[in-house]
Amino acid sequence: MSDLLADIPSVDKVINDQDCTPLLEEFGRQPVVLAIRSVLNEVRAERKKSLAAKTQSTILSMDVIITRVQNTLELQSTFSLRPVFNLTGTILHTNLGRAALPEQAIARMTEIASGASNLEFDLVANKRGDRDTHVEDLITRLTGAEAATIVNNNAAAVLLTLNTLAFNREVPVSRGELVEIGGSFRIPEIMSRSGCQLVEVGATNRTHLSDYEQAINDNTAILLKVHTSNYEIRGFTHSVSEAGLSLLAAKTKLPLVTDLGSGTLINLEQFGLPHEPTAAEAIASGADIVTFSGDKLLGGPQAGIIIGKKTLIDQIKSNPLKRALRVDKITISALFEVLGLYLDPDRLQETLPTIRHLARSFEDVNQLVVDMLPAFQSALGSQTQVTAIDTLSQVGSGSLPLDQLPSKAIAISSTKEKGADSHLQKIAGILRQLPMPILGRLNDGQLIFDLRTLDAADALSEQLEEVNLS
Ligand SMILES: *Cc1c(COP(=O)(O)O)cnc(C)c1O
């Protein structure tokens, strides 16, 4: 017994082996020592186990140990977050990181991340500055608002706004607008966490101005309108428009706050999509504060943008919670560059990935499908049928809920008589394990890859060449 265990080399012996030298160079001494220790511990445990079970142990060579050390080190240094091909047909997929950033934003983030910057330093006045000023002018120009401030995401924007303007007070909200936005963001819950009291008005399908009027009392702080961007109520419905609410807000001297959710800056009808209220429209129709996301239809970094009346924005900015929810210099850099592209809206289809994907014509996607079909067929064609199909892409991230955009996809169906579904699941699993995973969606017995959001066709072909179905 002691022989088998005594056979295990010391850490020093492994580290001084000449085959260990390249590992020391690549990873550094301390990580290598720790990896050797952990491999030798594993080996010791394995040997004890096989001794107890009286099974044969494999011969232990220095080669085997060093290979295991190398594997351990490589595993430790791989990053679990990595690029994937989003071919799900959902342009802004929250689980897949939402908007892809344009190259100008990436360049600016790199520049500002690389060293010191005047993030909160006024170079003219030589005194402490405000990080919001780097993007505030651009936002107010694009939206017509008086002032703006930025936080981590739109959930934070809603939380901070309510906490500032309605703490310990009442907020009437239409029952038709008490939405849940994927994950755990629900309007009633965010309201109670922000310390304000929700007063439900109207009915799920119909809310009238008089419902709000009856709910208002001395303890009412604001009127809140939530843009229900991720679902639709059809049929016998009525809601109070922003303009209608803003008249009531003016009459009662209460601020009107609108949570726009997606908050686009341009009219999406030009891409054949239904109208989504823009941030400028919300301001023009009388909202005193409007909040929206940076990484939904705007196509920028994760951020929450709060715009509106300067007096209210000043109050929001001086809330101590703002400090907890503020964005960093990298987000501000990306946001500046993305917003800058909106100054030239006619070219957004070329300059901004989210708009490029939204606006991509059916013919363009179809051409991509024609080009990519052979690569899919040669990678996945055995025991499956690989065809081109018509499909509908969706915007995603709670913006424009319904499938809207006519698109073209590559569809894989199993030719197996039995277990076709698990066959497709298995193929999907293999594609998810590629160095750059390829993600589609399973639908109606088909594995579907919508190419609307494909940018790197060559890289996709390369990945498909690596597929091994056996
Ligand atoms: C998406 C959404 C939010 C949350 O925005 P995040 O940027 O994801 O935090 C809040 N309100 C509405 C109406 C939304 O659509």
Span 162-211, pLDDT tens digits: 999 999 999 999 999 988 776 678 899 999 999 999 999 988 788 899 99
Model pLDDT, residue 183: 65
Strands (E), 121-229: 121-122, 127-128, 147-151, 170-174, 180-181, 185-186, 197-201, 223-226
Considering only CA atoms, which of 228, 230, 453, 459 is closest in space to residue 355?
453
Task: Write the burial class of residue 52 (CB in 10 Å: 0-12 exposed, 13-18 middle, 19+ buried).
Answer: exposed
CA of 260 to the centre of ligand 1 (A): 8
Distance CA 144, CA 142 (A): 6
**Could you tell me the CA-to-CA distances from 251 to 131, 254, 301 in Å, in that order?**
35, 8, 38
In the predicted model, is pLDDT for residue 1 greater than 60? no
Can you read off the two tokens belonging to residue 343? 């100054």
From 231, 262, 293, give the residue whose CB has the most ligand 1 atoms within 8 Å, as the site to mutate. 293
In the predicted model, is pLDDT for residue 114 greater than 70? yes
Can you read off the two tokens belonging to residue 458? 């060559």
pLDDT in tens, 259-281: 999 889 999 888 878 888 899 99
> Is 225 touching ligand 1 by the criterion CB < 6 Å?
no
pLDDT in tens, 414-467: 999 899 999 999 999 999 999 999 999 999 899 999 999 999 999 999 999 999
In ligand 1, the atom with minimum distance to the C-alpha of 156 is 9
In ligand 1, the atom with minimum distance to the C-alpha of 303 is 7
> Is 198 touching ligand 1 by the criterion CB < 6 Å?
no
- Residues near 429 by Cβ (< 8 Å), separated by ≥ 6? none
Distance CA 293, CA 397 (A): 10
Nearest CA to ligand 1 atom 14: 261
Nearest CA to ligand 1 atom 11: 261
> Is 181 touching ligand 1 by the criterion CB < 6 Å?
yes
Concatenate the DSSP letters of all residues of 21-38 into one string.
HHHHHHH-HHHHHHHHHH
Residues of the chain with pLDDT > 70, as a percent, come to 96
Distance CA 314, CA 165 (A): 11
CA of 230 to the centre of ligand 1 (A): 10
pLDDT in tens, 7-66: 889 999 999 999 999 999 999 999 999 999 999 999 999 888 888 888 776 678 899 999
Distance CA 133, CA 56 (A): 71
Distance CA 83, CA 303 (A): 21
CA of 396 to the centre of ligand 1 (A): 12
Model pLDDT, residue 54: 81
